[in-house]
Structure 1
Amino acid sequence: MSLDFAVPVSAPDTAATGPDTTGPESTAPESGGTARPLSPNALRAIVRDLAEQPDRWIHRVRLATGDRWYERMVSAEDHEVWLISWLPGQSTGFHDHGGSRGAFAVALGELEELSLGGPEDGLLVRRVAPGAVRAFGAAYLHDVRNTSAGPAVTIHAYSPPLSGMTRYDLRAGGLVRTAEEGPEQW
């Protein structure tokens, strides 16, 4: 599906690098039997803990030459965890997380993250070193890529579990929505 309209540029989501202001980390069910989403800080702890225990995931890792390889490791009511491998040159392209909060840890290798910092800051490029963890709120858009000479492995957590994602192209006027994906496409 191709949609073509500009996405307004706004200030970066402060949950990506700053203190968590998204509320309690409770996973206690709310009315209707659904669990409350975990905070970016809780997701940060999940991916950091798992990345520091390679015996729990290293045997699952595969390298794929076409696209990034990925596998869902945890599927719970309030969050999910994905293991992803990246060969040099592989990237996500700009995307959102369908309203889910998230975090990722670089378990092996290193990556680069691109995001928009607002009209004054333009495109932000961050090196995400081995052992680094990035966490973000529900409205965060970014592009993650392997610009290094070797493979990388990351662990990602989302809360609530991903229900969809929107893809964007970066153009002179900002981000332009190009496609929407649902879980059936992953």
Structure 2
Amino acid sequence: MSLVTTVARATDLLSIARSYAAEPDDWPFAPRFDPARRWYGRLASAEDHEVWLLTWLPGQGTDLHDHGGSSGAFTVVSGELVEQTVRGGELVNSTYGEGQGHRFGAHFVHRIVNASTRPAVTVHVYGPALTAMTRYRLHDSRLTVESITKAGADW
């Protein structure tokens, strides 16, 4: 059974991420690493979701952000990442290693960072496809909007 057939039958975004992570020989390109910024490339898109490959060198990470109303999931292909979420006005860490992942809802705010000494590779799936991302700042235990970026215009 091909990866496309497997993905078409899946409805769970984390299952889709794991399917792609398990078949790196089927990716249309190899992961790349950029010391100046995180690297990412879209592996696939469908009517109800899109799949992205991301790489993370040690110290690289995101700002606190949401996915503009899209739900999502990610799985770690190699390396280890720390996901930070806001609970009770403070950042709470969850660590994910190879084969581990996390699914999240449409209004989930998080930050991801490679706090390890090894590069990391992840597969992310968003449904529906990303149209915007909101970046936040945590100040005095409260989230405030820093910026909103739009697909096609800002990335």
Per the normalisation by structure 1, the TM-score is 0.74
- The reply to whether residue 78 of structure 1 matches residue 48 of structure 2 is yes
Shift of residue 57, structure 1, vs aligned partner: 3.1
Give unpaired runs (5+ residues) of structure 2.
1-7
CA distance in 2, matches of 1:50, 1:160: 17
Structure 1 residue runs of 4 or more that deviate by more than 4 Å after TM superposition:
none
Which amino acid is 2:154 matched to?
A: Q
CA distance in 1, matches of 2:142, 2:121: 29
- Which is strand-richer, 1 or 2? 2
Shift of residue 77, structure 1, vs aligned partner: 1.5
Correspondence for 1:113: 83
CA distance in 2, matches of 1:100, 1:173: 25
CA distance in 1, matches of 2:31, 2:149: 24
Could you say if the C-alpha distance between residues 58 and 117 of structure 1 is closer, same or farther in structure 2, counting changes exceeding 3 Å?
A: farther
CA distance in 2, matches of 1:164, 1:49: 25
1:157 to 105, 125, 128: 125
Higher relative contact order (CA 8 A, sep 6+): 1
1:144 to 97, 112, 115: 112
SS in 2 for 1:74: strand
Give unpaired runs (5+ residues) of structure 1.
1-26, 28-37
**% identity of equivalent residues:** 45
The count of residues paired between Structure 1 and Structure 2 equals 146
Native 8 Å contact 2:137 2:146 kept in 1: yes
Q: Which string of whole-angstrom CA distances, capped at 9 and with x for unpartnered residues, describes residues 79-98 of structure 1?
A: 00000000011111100000
Native 8 Å contact 2:33 2:57 kept in 1: yes
